[in-house]
Structure 1
Amino acid sequence: MSKVFTIAEGLENMGALRTGGQGSVYKGRRVGPIMTAVKLIPTPIYHESEDDKNFRRFQNEVEKLKKVNQEPNPNVVKILSSGLTESGSFPFIEMEYIEGPDLEELLQPPHDKIFTIKEAIKVADQLACALSHCHKVGVKHGDIKSNNVKFNIHSGNYVLLDFGLAIMSDEQRRSSVRNAGAIEFMAPEQNDGQMLFQTDIYSYGVVMFELLAGQVPFPLTDNSENARNTVRLKHIEEMPPDLLSLRQRNLPATWSDEKKATEMLVPDWLVRLINTCLAKNPESRYANGIALHDAINKSSISGATNGELQAENERLRALLYDPIAKNAAMEDQSSNVQISKPLFILMIILLVSSMVMAGYYTLFYKNNHVDPNKNSTFTDSVRSDTANKTNSIGDNGVPLGQNPVNQNPDSTNDTQKIKPAKQQPDNVPDTSIKPQTDTTNTTPVNPEQGDANNDQTQALQTSSEL
């Protein structure tokens, strides 16, 4: 096992990055342009043998960390090497250096005090993915907090880093919690030196609460022993405050009213997930990072499937919490006229029926209707034709001008004389039945037309005498 601290051959010390109760992190540089991060663990190892309890623990945890990197994960920092320092015999873990701000820095000015819903869901998914990846191989992080999650400016991913607390003994962890640990992110069972998979789940819930509410559930007012004990007791006994109320209070003043209303629509499944993570009893939380990540995936899929219900839920919540959105919704409803689908279809049918009836009236009824004033001449001509037909019928019922056919084949007469038709006076009364018409608007029969009919009758009589 290699030994470092000066730092060893090929590894230069670039200065301390962060110092805490669980150890100090230094920026290291290998020979060449590769930058690394070195985690020093304050657990001295005096003998590199199986007889040393701390050495055995360190070796076991290093083997687990190697398994973490056997399958690369974009949300977990890469472990490059491990060993003991040349001076002091402190264990160290060398990790890749992630360039970018951590979550704690992203919550400080000039950044907004809270994350947007979209970005918070991204952190929730990627951090849960990192925990799932570690818990699959049995690695517990033990020190999840906002400054141990960094945003990689090159990949755009959030990365979990700073492993090493699991290597510490139970007594060392208890001492760290009391004196230098980030008490705001620690689970209740950590006061007894326990570290479970559910311990990481609790710290995860505190991080997500901070991103959405703008503060941790139980803030530390100062670093005094009394203040730390107060926060520790609150984690054990008190329920977290209402997340949405704190978010409403910490909305940035620079946001527009529309954005404020939108950013208050935190999905219900995300609020429930955070509350489950913050349960006092470890058994009431998600069992591990695998169960946590599965819950996020199922909730997000369910939200996409019930998109219409979720949109309606968000609209109602906006009306409840934001009077501006309520007034806007009322204005939209007053300006829009909504018609049900059956009523719309009925209106279309009535419109088409009206058009058909109008076309029928135009093509048939109007063209066949005759004005009596304009059609009197036609009525008079019908009367004249009827009179002519009556005058041209003889006494024997045979029309004048036609020879009756001899029906007897044995008759010796080749021809039969036709009796001359009786002379009809010039003006014969019309005895035919005439259609009743409105006599007030009819025009008298034309005398010239009557003389023409008499001339035709005389011509027929003359031809029959010949």
Structure 2
Amino acid sequence: MSETRQPPLLFQQIEPGIVLAGRYRILSSIGKGGMGFVYAAQEESLGIKRMVAIKVMPPQMMMDEGLLRRFREEIKIASGLDHPNIVPIYSLGEHHGVYFYVMKLLDGATAYQKLHKDGPFAEAEVRRLIAPIARALHYAHSKGVIHRDVKSNNIHISVDGFPTLMDFGIARGAEASELTLPGQVVGTAEYMSPEQWYGEVDGRSDIYSLGIVLFELATGQLPFRSKHTFELMKLHQEVPAPSPRSVAPQISPALERLILKCIAKDPAARFATAQLVAEALESPYDPNEVSAAVEIVAPAADGGEAPLSGSHTLLQESPVAELTGADKKVWHLCVQADEAYASGQIDVAIKLIGKAGKLSPDSNQVATRRTKYTKMKELTEQILARARKKLADGYPKQAIVDCENVLRCIPSPSAVALINQAQRQIAEAEKLVEKAQQLRAAGKIKAFTKSIAAAQRLNAELEYTSGTAIRPRPQPVKAPKPVKKKTGPPIFTRARVIGLSIFIAVVVLVLGIKPGLLYLADSRFIQNTEDSLFLSPASAYQLYKISSFLGFNAGQAEERLRLIQLKAKNHYVNQANQAVQSNDLGLAVEMLNKALKHDPTDAKLRDTLDLLQAKYQVQKSIGK
């Protein structure tokens, strides 16, 4: 069990003028993200002044000794790197419970910022900027360090165009295999390799992420996009990446081949080292080279030719005028399949491509389409099934988000129908709430309660605040039974519960309800153990909830409740992490469900739970 810590200094207290650790004067906030907050600061030590950047750890790390220990180890690894294209880390510090590390302050902007300001990079610029980054990665790999979060926002470009790789704060030694929760996996979902989702990383995983960056900078968009982490995992692992030249035709075939080799699903098919990536980027190329691939085109309304929408597939064959016999039939079947796919008729597309496969069993174009259509069908069916369940469970807004994700991939009629159904369900729930308000005003409390309950069944996320609050209930997630059953006596015996109840009653009778409850709650909070804060039946968490409900010192009670919930969430996440390490996925799922009870709004944690449940089901199905 992780050691407990005092609540840290709140982020809102870190503001310009504050001096951290007696030597770093905060000047301004310059960034924030899931891995912490970044500030510009001036180091004032022994009469020497220099500008630095301070990265402050997120609060969930500061509240947990285990995460702190790992963070220190990872910073120690990163600070040992000395390369001109890696931002140097100077030191690790602590100030009133806030942990931070100090690094060089850079001018300029990140590649992500420049991309969104100026648009896609020219190919020559992409090659010039990313080749040194690839060499920096090769250097880190040679030292046994895997970055794990290579992305455009971690590549900094100075005002004079010098590229630097940043944020080795979550790097690990190549021999490490531990997963870090929450999130189960570490990295940024849009850039993560197929194997990284399961924590199986080596240098080739960083090469995959660098390939995604190359695709993004050269085309102006990512190859795989979704708001849902689970969908991104499936896309990276199963769906072929689109051709970069189908998105940005100005890219040379040489760069396209390089990018596709970097982002191959199989690590063995990628470049063996980042050094080879750098050499490929720096090698001579012909910007006027013409690819042997010809994009599929279909007759346009005006008699000309227009690319088929929704299809990034390329035919490695001659134009249709030069085809004869079976080859021409295959070409037309592929065109018809692409048209069906682009209009959302996946089953029709699969049927057509099946006919093409019978005529040309060895055609790469047919095989590529078959894989693409089949994987997309599986993915959309999974997402739509989840949307239907959310709708049935009373979460129409979440169902709409799922359906919109499907529509971003393909114009599915089923997704449109589900969105319409969800919108009708939301409207019906709102009508029931209006009816409930009228019933309440008329004094018909029983009918009012029934109407509100019916509204919540349709939309559990509704809030009714006129006298009675309807709080969004956490989405029910059925956890599979743990693989290993817990043994031994229960944590809280009946005698202990009775004894605590008597003690609470005596304190309340002697001091009065308000001072008694607050005295007990404060006492349990000051003890600052997991038992006193949230595990015990008479925990500070339970007592503050009662105090808040009764309106006793509600402001302080709510603030301390938030701190306790954060600690409780971290406790159960750590338990889940330990269960994952021992391959007890059933117990890990159970612990994450408990963590979600303390933070039902944590979408990333919910995605982690979805991934663990899917992995647990696979584990059960193969008899592990």
Give the CA deviation at 1:7.
1.5
Q: Which residue among 173, 183, 189 is the counterpart of 1:175? A: 183
Aligned residues: 273
CA distance in structure 1 between the aligned counterparts of 2:201 and 2:292, rounded to whole angstroms: 41
Q: Give the partner amino acid of 1:287.
A: A
Is residue 136–residue 290 contact of structure 1 (8 Å, CA) maintained in 2?
no
Please list, as runs of the form range in 1=range in 2, the aligned pairs for 1:260-339 lying within 5 A after superposition: 264=250, 266-297=251-282, 300-301=283-284, 303=285, 310=286, 314=288, 316=290
* 1:198 aligned partner: 204
Match of 2:96 among 65, 87, 94: 87
Matches of 2:289 and 2:235, distance apart in 1: 35
- Asked if the contact 1:173–1:193 (Cα under 8 Å) also holds between the matched residues in 2, the reply is no
Q: Distance in 1 between matches of 2:294 and 2:265?
A: 31
Residue number in structure 2 paired with 1:144? 150
Counterpart for residue 80 of structure 2: 67
Asked if the contact 1:202–1:278 (Cα under 8 Å) also holds between the matched residues in 2, the reply is yes
Q: Which ranges of structure 2 fall in alignment gaps of 5 or more residues? A: 1-7, 296-303, 305-624
- The separation in 2 between residues aligned to 1:237 and 1:26, in whole angstroms, is 39
* 8 Å CA contact 1:141, 1:163 repeated in 2: yes
Distance in structure 2 (CA, Å) of the matches to 1:212 and 1:140: 25
Partner of 1:129: 135
1:159 matched residue in structure 2: 164
Q: 1:233 to 1:15 in 2, by over 3 A?
A: farther
Query: 1 CA distance for matches of 2:96 and 2:198?
Result: 31
Specify whether residues 68 and 158 from structure 1 end up closer, same or farther in structure 2 by C-alpha distance, changes over 3 A only: same
Q: Determine if the alignment matches structure 1 residue 102 to structure 2 residue 110.
A: yes
| Distance in 2 of aligned mates of 1:53 and 1:173 | 9
What residue is the counterpart of 1:236 in the other structure? 237
* Structure 2 Cα separation of the partners of residues 86 and 102 of structure 1: 28
SS at match of 1:12: strand
1:36 has 2:52 as partner = yes
Change (3 A) 1:174 1:208: farther
Contact 1:132–1:289 (Cα < 8 Å) also in 2: yes
Report the 3-state secondary structure (helix = DSSP H, G, I; strand = E; otherwise coil) of the residue aligned with 1:68: coil
Deviation digits for residues 158-209 of structure 1, max 9, x if unmatched? 111111112598442561759xx63211222222234322221111011100
Identity %: 30
> Cα 1:283–1:317, aligned 2, differ >3 Å: closer, same or farther?
closer
Native 8 Å contact 2:253 2:289 kept in 1 = no
Change (3 A) 1:19 1:189: farther
Pick the aligned partner of 1:21 from 20, 26, 34: 34
Which structure: greater helix fraction? 2
* Amino acid in structure 1 at the alignment position of 2:243: D
Contact in 1 for aligned 2:215/2:222 (Cα 8 Å): yes
1:296 Cα deviation (Å)? Answer: 3.6
> Are the counterparts in 1 of residues 111 and 153 from structure 2 also a CA contact under 8 Å?
yes
Q: Deviation of residue 122 (structure 1)?
A: 0.9
Are positions 1:211 and 2:217 aligned together?
yes
Q: Deviations over 1:25-54 (max 9, x none)?
A: 23222126522122334434877xxxx685
User: TM-score, normalised on structure 2?
Assistant: 0.40
Q: Tell me the CA shift for residue 144 of structure 1.
A: 1.1
C-alpha change, 1:64 and 1:288, in structure 2 (3 Å) is farther
Do 1:279 and 1:285's aligned partners in 2 also have CA atoms closer than 8 Å? yes
The runs of 5 or more residues in structure 1 that have no matched partner are 249-263, 304-309, 324-466
Q: Tell me how large the CA RMSD over aligned residues is.
A: 3.4
Considering only CA atoms, is the larger Rg found in Structure 1 or Structure 2? 1
Give SS of 2:248's match.
helix
Residue 88 of structure 2 corresponds to residue 78 of structure 1: yes
Instruction: Work out whether residues 174 and 191 of structure 1, in 8 Å CA contact, stay in contact via their aligned partners in 2.
Output: no
Please give the alpha-carbon distance, in whole angstroms, between the structure 1 residues aligned to 2:20 and 2:184: 26
Match of 2:366? none
- Measure, in 1, the Cα distance between the counterparts of 2:56 and 2:105: 15
Q: Deviations over 1:7-36 (max 9, x none)?
A: 211102234333322333232221265221
List per-residue Cα deviations over 1:309-361 (Å, max 9, x = no partner). x47xx26569989x9xxxxxxxxxxxxxxxxxxxxxxxxxxxxxxxxxxxxxx
